[in-house]
Structure 1
Amino acid sequence: MTPPATAGPSPAPEPPPGPEPESRPPWRDPLRPVAERVEDLLGRLTPDERLAMLHQFAPPVDRLGLAAFRTGQEALHGVAWMGPATVFPQAVGLGATWDDELVRRIGEAVGREVRAMRAKDPRVGLNVWAPVVNQLRHPLWGRNEEGYAEDPVLTAALATAYTRGLRGSHPDYWRTAPVLKHWLAHNHETGRDTASTSVPARVLHEYELPAFRGPVRAGAVAGVMPAYNLVNGRPNHLSPLLESELRQWTGRPLVVCSDAGAPSNIAGSEQYHDSHEEGLAAALRAGVDSFTDHGEDSSVTLERLRGALKRGLIGQPDVDRAVRRLLTMRFRLGEFDPGLDPYRPENDPAEAAFDTPDHRALALRAAEAAVVLLKNAPVAPADAPAGRPLLPLPPGLRLAVVGPLADETKLDWYSGALLRAVSPLAGLRDHPATGSVVFAEGTDRVRLSCPEGWLTVPDAEVAERADTGALDPALLAGRTDLPPLTLSADRARAAEFALADWGGGVFTLRAENGHYLSVAEDGFVRASARQPGGWVVQETFEPVPQPDGGELIRHRGTGRLLTAAPEGLRLAGEEEPPTAFRREVVRDGARAVAAAAADADAVIVVAGNDPHINGRETEDRTTLALPPQQDRLWRAAHAANPNTVLVLTSSGPYAVPEAAAGLPALLWTAHGGQAAGTALARVLHGERAPGGRLPQTWYAADTDLPELLDYDLIGSRLTYLYHDGEPLFPFGHGLSYTSFSYDGLTLAGEGIAEGVLTAGVSVRNTGEREGEEVVQLYVRAVEPSVPRPHRALAAYRRVRLAPGATERITFTVDASEALGFWDVAHARWTVEPGDYEIQAGASSRDIRRSVTLTVPGDGRPAPRPVAAVGLDASAFDEHSGAELVDRSRTEGDAVRPARAGERPAVLHYRRCDLGEGAGAVRVEYAADGAGACRGRLELLADGRPVAEAELAADGGVYAYTTAEVPLSGPPVRGVVDLEARLHGALRLARLGFAAEGARRSG
């Protein structure tokens, strides 16, 4: 998503209830079916009026009394970009709650705040772009903070809950119209609009589609937004799956809203079509209904669509189909029935709820529920009983609260402005069980000098700007109404800066006035920003070491070096020499932390990330390691005081094996919104038992991870489903201040009745404190014929139990979905006969009870009938070195070598039935590039070479040719395993087999 507009014309007022002057047309009659009303209204619109509705900012139709309408209101974890609102934990933090009902209530609160804010500001839209259901399979992806989990079951359940809250429960009218993001196989930011992700059929059907299918089938979703990237070589905005899959899951019309700027990418950065007219026409035909492009200026998009109409690339039915879906959504939102809409605040005061006590309590509850206790080992202070875990903290302790995030409440790109905020430091200071608190941020305090003098911050009051009801421009472009930094020959006037190291050489500098150094549009550096932020962060810098020990300073947002000009510190021009600075450390942050820790009873180190730096939309992470400065802090604290707790507050996992091994206590929480500090204090003191569970695997090292764009989690052995190594902390992990036992795992009846698997397990609180457990049900195929997960989540339940209490938990799951897999040979979902373990436990690696279920299944899949129907190259069982690409611009997949000049694509096809025998193989292939391309195909049957051919192609990537290659050696009959090896710059689409009589000698 590109930056939002901060201002613009307000939509026209909505029409009053009642008939038009001359009559009450059918579209105004709320007693008629919505589909009938839509058709009547559509028929009254001119072709130009219909076309105009396809842009994000649809204009009013004054002659009919239709208001302007805008698709798109960000509401990922609260209302975003429209000013102050209740800020809930990041989406990944909501994922850590494993609590459907809590997430539903948050969705309801957010939906009500959308309605309440819209009543005061018509720029607030009711078509909300949330939630994100892309799964967090690679922990370095920049947008993981926006998703819920690495697992499709957990993701789908939480997305269903959130959309139900956003949508409301009325059968006819919707509180808001939620749109799922981002279709499909997205979360990386490296080359996000040009990179193609290769998604094999099994990964698509077993992993990608279920996360979207769950909430869509639940009936609370208005539509989806395609992602920027390409999948199998085809832009997501042209995905045939929008029609063949998505719109087959529900009887309701689903709106497809493009991502911002993506329509222009089709013929722009992606070069997929030759002209924008062709690109937009292809998107409309593929199922895109609303074009988000060029901000509020619809003229460019409409001109391209008009051009497509004139060229015959689209017709009026294509336009009408999209408008019909958009109008249906507007009817469901009550736009045309203002007096009947139950979600209008004027009709129901409850829908005006905004920053209410209930919403504040809900934000606190969510922040508490998201805290994950990763480790809690015994310590042995002189005044504590032997073997007592460090947490919860006893009352009355002297606490050292340290670290760069200890006194921060960080926001991310999709946050609203904070109405209120409590940092960990404030939360602990305010908690009645805290004895006393000393604070050390742990950042180094530095002065910067050059031969001309010392860097200074001119005396000027930094007045905070009043909220405008939209994004604060100060966060986007910096301040120009303040004097820039200057040089002084007087050392006594040198400014002290807090230098925070965020890893990878990236740092921020905060002046003594509490504001960060920021580069404004005029290129000058000022101490003006409240926090790093904005679409392009203007507050981050990188050092460029020099041979003499000095360093140049590069502004990361522009890539330009700084120079200390007479008029002030600014970006250097192209021909202008930058200034080399020397850094003088006035106070060492690690030493300050050690000093604070030495005088305390316990130390709370709060470390992690700033959600705007080194990993976010536009930027992937480069490592799982903590920034070096933060790594030094926990080590310094622990060396000074063994009672050290490390709290990682971050948008994703860290690889901290030494901290996990050496420290007595370790916690993780995503950035927890407005109540993060209060929640953390309550958990640390035991007022609230920790109950969060990890929604993604924490790996031990970067070396556990595949390449950033490897989406084939089966082949790369990624996530808890397939990872063969030992994780640092597994998916589903989380401890409590009490203990739980599991007993009596049983299956109802024969285990499966009418397609439903029913399992029950008893969970008992065996400790002395109340606590919350997340009971997790997994399924494992015992002897599968194809690679299957180590275990896969089937269901879960978060329960609170008093000491000694027992609860019987019953799970009912769709047996086919839980036990089945995608049979690539026959392009269908199937349940294989055999034994399955049904497992119950506290995490994916902490299984407490299991029971075996034998199922007849659908029968062992028959061999591939390749002699009769041939073999699609993309339908491989396994591969190495292969990449899926588009067979044509509209449908189908082909295969090419991922690194054509280095190694072949090796494709395995199991149990291929060649019948009475094959004498030749027909190879359908094309060039993988412009001009003439050459390559070679080798075919093996049961490991024996049976064919080899040099192939040449010309005419482009979609100009397929067929070559018939005779098989050599003994006849190839019956069921065999085939292996195809494709070398060179070629695309392989299909293999066909001619009868043995076609064999030729030679």
Structure 2
Amino acid sequence: MTEPWRDPLLPASERVADLLERMTVEEKAGQLTGFWALPSDPGAPVAPMEDDSGEPSPGFDDVVAHGLGQLTRVYGTAPITAEAGMERLASLQRQVTASGRFGIPAVAHEECLTGFMTFGATVFPGPLAWGASFDPGLVRQMAAAIGAGMRRVGVHQGLAPVLDVVRDYRWGRTEECIGEDPYLVGAIGTAYVQGLEGAGIVATLKHFAGYSASRGGRNMAPVASGPREFADVLVEPFVRALREGGARSVMNSYTDVDGVPVAADATVLTDLLRGELGFGGVVVADYYAVSFLQTRHGVAGSRGAAGALALTAGIDVELPTARCYGEPLTALVRSGALAEEVVDRAAERVLLQKAELGLLDPDWEPVRPEPVPLDPPENRALARLLAERSTVLLANDGTLPLRPCRVAISGPYADDPQVFLGCYSFPNHVALPGDLGLDIPTLGEALTAAGFTVTPDDPDVNVLVLGDRAGMFGRGTSGEGCDAETLDLPGDQAALAAAVLDSGVPTVLVLVSGRPYALGALAERASAVVQTFFPGEEGGTALARIISGAAEPSGRLPVSVPRHTGGQPGTYLRPRLGGHTDWSSVDPTPLFPFGHGLSWTSFDYSELSVDPVAATDGTVAVSATVRNVGEVTGTEVVQLYLSDPVASVVRPQRWLAGFGRVELEPGTAARVTFSVHADRTSFTGIDLRRRVEPGEIRVAVGRSSGDLPLQGSFTLHGPVRHPGTDRVLSVPVEIVPVS
């Protein structure tokens, strides 16, 4: 007779309850650990590494003796083919199932922030580019493609997306974020989750919560966020990705918030995440975050104490490998210092997810090795489309688009294909020398293919390629651990740009970067400025198509571009006294504001209509007509902003409430209608409860946060409301062609 836990016809909760009754504490704890099979010579570090007092981590045989929760980055640690990776994964899974009494396989997880992070897999544009596209549907397609490839090779879980809201552009991990506005981050991040989860891959939301608000933009530095910023800005995207996206995993933030490391904070990982937000999935540790409670934060005196703190707070699985869970944890249970119920709670969550993934079923088999194309043509086409739609034309005096002519391409990244790839792409993350495993055209090669004559002699136009090289822990100018002291262009790039501009030849500045840089007078002197945020393997081709006019630059800024290097943090989401005032000599007004972006055509806004009143639990319709008044077809990103002129706490001057991409032929128009629920005006009040207040709400519709030609208002009537996490999180948009 089949044991109940092996019966796939029974509810997962019954199966897991039966299994837990049969397990020893060591077997339950075994499900809470990961194992990272690092190569004997790992080379440059590919994650924050941990080495305390020379005490080694347990070996594979010791870790799997009682079962194993997760296998860490079988594909994403060293360059291997898909087929070799499948062989390796199958071998490890057979060892896992043969070692424990119950034969339960491990969850295999991989990074997937810019695509499946393995040798030879498609490198898509990075998250800032997703934000710049203002195109959730296209991001959902990308994530579905990423998930399908991972699923095919036996991966169960992806460590993405990053939902940290950018607060200080100097932070090296800005490139991993979607933008500086929580509504944009929530909309795009949720679309990514839907695509990945729809492909059968467990999406992991990172980093819950507060990571991006570290002091001075320094990686892993303390966070001093107040409760309103924490709730209304930093946590808000997670609410939507959990509720509308259905993410089944969450990863903790490394940082401490007001002196309490998130990895040891039950008020964040249990009370907020599970109690208030209703999360029922698995919380995994960011790599070595549990160990860091002892060695970096100093709130635990031993590995076991660190493990007990993290497990009690709500971290279910220690990643990337067993250090503080496993034996140190079970020793505390055996001694009575830690209640076994805490282990049971996490083990139940892990096993329920394994049941969902089919890992408890009697017919489970490891992946069968076979050749798998990891960069198929359809992926490249999707990568190119997203790269095009996320490219932002910041300025243009009419020089662009270029017709075939003599072009001089210069700059430190003119002939570097890796410049298009983010920190969490395999070539940059694992620091491959030589073979990238992919065909990545440089901009020069792409322009040549587009019919331009690339030559340094007597050019008609200079194309100057500036920006970042992504890397890890100081190996780049952008990326994890690559924080910036200022927002000056790295190295001597500003001087180089000035010298090229002094030549008198019309010059197009092309910025390929992981953060915005202060461009100042350089942008004003250039004939055109094009910004792209690590556009992936098709970045060169996409840029060439845009420069030549074969494609349209329909991206919009997901972060503001500062005018000066000072004044940080300088995001647009700030109250009145956070901007330029008569009481400070520092002016943080950006050179190009959040949401800005030009096109090959022009658009006119007219006929604003706003419902004048609504209840504090009602909905307001905001409509405007947008017309293409230029001579070519173009795409406008219509943006809706709200502001609250009188509130019980200080509010931002304006916040993004909705957006929609509208493609229009010359002379045609569309009526764009936003349905704004009163919940989109809610905020955290003085009593730390979310509230909707009666009173005037101002409305603005336009091209960017700094260009809003249509202004109106509506009034909310009724009592103060206290909406919960079931509140309305999004603003639907309807686009109807009009004559």
Deviations 1:843-887 (A, max 9, x none): 0001021221011253499xxxxxxxxxxxxxxxxxxxxxxxxxx
Q: Assess, with a 3 A threshold, how the Cα gap between structure 1 residues 190 and 137 changes in structure 2: closer, same or farther.
A: closer
Distance across 2 between alignment mates of 1:345 and 1:260: 26
Q: Partner of 1:183 in structure 2?
A: 208
**Partner residue of 2:151?**
115
Instruction: Determine whether 1:851 maps to 2:736.
Output: no
Give the greater-gyration-radius structure (CA): 1
1:200 aligns with 2:63: no
Matched with 1:423 is 442
Amino acid at match of 1:393: L
User: What does the per-residue CA deviation read over 1:530-566, in whole Å, with 9 as the maximum and x for residues that have no partner?
Assistant: xxxxxxxxxxxxxxxxxxxxxxxxxxxxxxxxxxxxx
Q: Is the 8 A contact 2:573 2:655 kept in 1?
A: no
Task: Give the match's secondary structure for 1:618.
Answer: coil
Find the counterpart in structure 2 of residue 397 from structure 1: 405
Shift of 1:29: 3.1
The CA deviation at 1:114 is 0.8
Does the C-alpha gap of structure 1 residues 790 and 299 become closer, same or farther in structure 2, counting only changes over 3 Å? closer
Which of 7, 20, 26 is 1:42 aligned to? 20
Structure 2 partner of 1:133: 163
Separation in 2, partners of 1:276, 1:200: 31
Q: Alpha-carbon deviation of 1:274? A: 2.9
> What corresponds to 2:75 in structure 1?
none
Note the C-alpha offset of 1:331. 2.2
Amino acid of the structure 1 residue aligned with 2:490: P
How far apart in 1 are the matches of 2:342 and 2:268? 17
Please give the alpha-carbon distance, in whole angstroms, between the structure 1 residues aligned to 2:667 and 2:141.
29
Q: 2:338 matched to which residue of 1? A: 314
Is residue 185–residue 711 contact of structure 1 (8 Å, CA) maintained in 2?
Answer: no
With normalisation by structure 2, the TM-score equals: 0.81
**Aligned twin of 2:548:** 685
> Is the CA contact (8 Å cut-off) linking 1:142 and 1:189 kept in structure 2?
no
State the one-letter code of the partner of 1:77. T
Shift of 1:251: 5.0
Q: Structure 1 or 2: larger strand share?
A: 1
- The whole-number CA distance in structure 2 between the counterparts of 1:839 and 1:639 is 40
Contact 1:226–1:258 (Cα < 8 Å) also in 2: yes
The answer as to 2:173 corresponding to 1:143 is yes
Q: Which of 612, 637, 657 is residue 774 of structure 1 equivalent to? A: 637
Q: Does 1:87 align with 2:123?
A: yes
Q: Deviation at 1:364?
A: 0.4
Deviation at 1:370, TM superposition (A): 1.2
Give the partner amino acid of 1:365. L
Return the offset for 1:211. 1.6
The secondary structure found in structure 1 opposite 2:151 is: helix
- The CA deviation at 1:785 is 4.1
Out of 729, 734, 741, which is 2:604 matched to? 741
Question: Displacement of 1:271 after TM fit?
Answer: 1.0
Q: Distance in 2 between matches of 1:671 and 1:251?
A: 35
Q: Show the 5 A alignment for 1:204-215.
A: 204-215=230-241
Contact 2:611 2:714 (C-alpha < 8 Å) held by counterparts: no
Structure 2 CA distance for partners of 1:714 and 1:334, relative to 1, 3 Å: farther
Query: 1:189·1:620 contact (CA, 8 Å) conserved in 2?
Result: no
Please, which of 388, 413, 416 is the counterpart of residue 368 of structure 1? 388
Structure 1 residues 716 and 852 mapped into 2: Cα distance closer, same or farther (>3 Å)? closer
- RMSD between aligned residues: 3.0
Specify every segment of 5 or more residues in structure 1 that has no aligned partner in the other structure, as ranges: 1-22, 119-124, 169-173, 378-388, 440-595, 862-1002
In 1, are the aligned partners of 2:393 and 2:553 still within 8 Å (CA)? yes
Q: 1:607 aligns with which of 466, 472, 477?
A: 466
Tell me by how many angstroms 1:300 deviates.
5.5
CA contact (8 A) 2:487 2:517 kept: yes
1:74-116: CA deviation from partner (whole Å, max 9, x where unpaired) = 1101011x32101001111111111100110111011011122
CA apart distance, 1:797: 1.2
Larger mean CA deviation between 730-739 and 763-772 belongs to 763-772
Aligned to 1:357: 377
Q: Distance in 1 between matches of 2:554 and 2:631?
A: 16
Q: Cα gap change, 1:290/1:715 in structure 2, threshold over 3 Å: closer, same or farther? A: farther
2:337 is paired with a residue whose SS is coil
Higher relative contact order (CA 8 A, sep 6+): 2
The letter of the residue matching 1:236 is V
Q: Are the aligned partners of 1:699 and 1:728 in contact in 2 as well (CA < 8 Å)?
A: yes
Find the partner of 1:241 among 268, 278, 281: 268
Give the Å deviation of 1:773. 1.2
Q: Using the alignment, how far apart are the partners of 2:589 and 2:513 within structure 1?
A: 22
Identity %: 35
Find the residue that maps to 2:538 and give its secondary structure.
helix
State how far apart, in whole Å, the 1-side matches of 2:216 and 2:698 are.
Answer: 39
1:819: how far off?
1.0
CA deviation after TM superposition for structure 1 residue 841, in Å? 0.9
Residue identity opposite 1:437 in structure 2: V
TM norm structure 1: 0.61
Structure 2 Cα separation of the partners of residues 165 and 260 of structure 1 = 25
1:821 aligns with 2:680: no
- Give, in angstroms, the shift of residue 717 of structure 1: 2.6
Q: How many residues align?
A: 641
Aligned residue for 2:696, secondary structure, equals strand
Residues 345 and 97 of structure 1, relative CA distance in 2, 3 Å threshold = farther
The Cα shift of 1:322 comes to 0.5
- In structure 2, what is the equivalent of residue 165 of structure 1? 195
**1:851/1:192 CA distance change after superposition, 3 Å:** closer
Per-residue deviation at 1:796? 0.9
Q: 1:37 to 1:764 in 2, by over 3 A?
A: farther
Partner amino acid, structure 2, of 1:717: G
Structure 2 CA distance for aligned equivalents of residues 61 and 782 of structure 1: 62
Which structure shows the higher helix fraction? Answer: 2
Instruction: Go from structure 1 to structure 2 and tell me whether the alpha carbon gap of 1:232 and 1:251 turns closer, same or farther (over 3 Å shift).
Output: closer
Q: 1:467-510, CA deviations, whole angstroms, 9 ceiling, x for partnerless residues?
A: xxxxxxxxxxxxxxxxxxxxxxxxxxxxxxxxxxxxxxxxxxxx
Q: How big is the shift at 1:746?
A: 2.2
Aligned residue for 2:599, secondary structure, equals: coil
- Distance in 1 (alpha carbons) for counterparts of 2:587 and 2:240: 28
Q: Which residue does the alignment assign to 2:455? A: 438
Once residues 836 and 661 of structure 1 are traced to their aligned partners in structure 2, the CA distance between those partners, rounded to angstroms, is 36
Q: What residue identity is the alignment partner of 2:405?
A: L
Q: Go from structure 1 to structure 2 and tell me whether the alpha carbon gap of 1:617 and 1:715 turns closer, same or farther (over 3 Å shift).
A: farther
For residues 618 and 725 of structure 1, the distance between their equivalents in structure 2, rounded to whole angstroms, comes to 25
1:270 and 2:270 matched: no
**SS in structure 2 at match of 1:648:** strand
The 2-side partners of 1:154 and 1:337 are apart by 40
Q: In structure 1, what is the Cα distance between the partners aligned to 2:653 and 2:190? A: 26
2:583 aligned partner: none
Task: Label 1:847 to 1:338 Cα distance change in 2 as closer, same or farther (>3 A).
Answer: farther
Q: CA deviation at 1:33?
A: 2.3
Q: Distance in 2 between matches of 1:842 and 1:290?
A: 45
| Structure 2 Cα separation of the partners of residues 399 and 694 of structure 1 | 27
| Equivalent position amino acid for 2:230 in 1 | L
Deviations 1:622-645 (A, max 9, x none): 111123532233223222234110
- Correspondence list, 1:22-101, <5 A: 23-57=1-35, 59=68, 60-62=96-98, 66-70=103-107, 72-80=109-117, 82-101=118-137
Measured in 1, the distance between the counterparts of 2:537 and 2:275 equals: 40
Q: CA deviation at 1:698?
A: 1.5
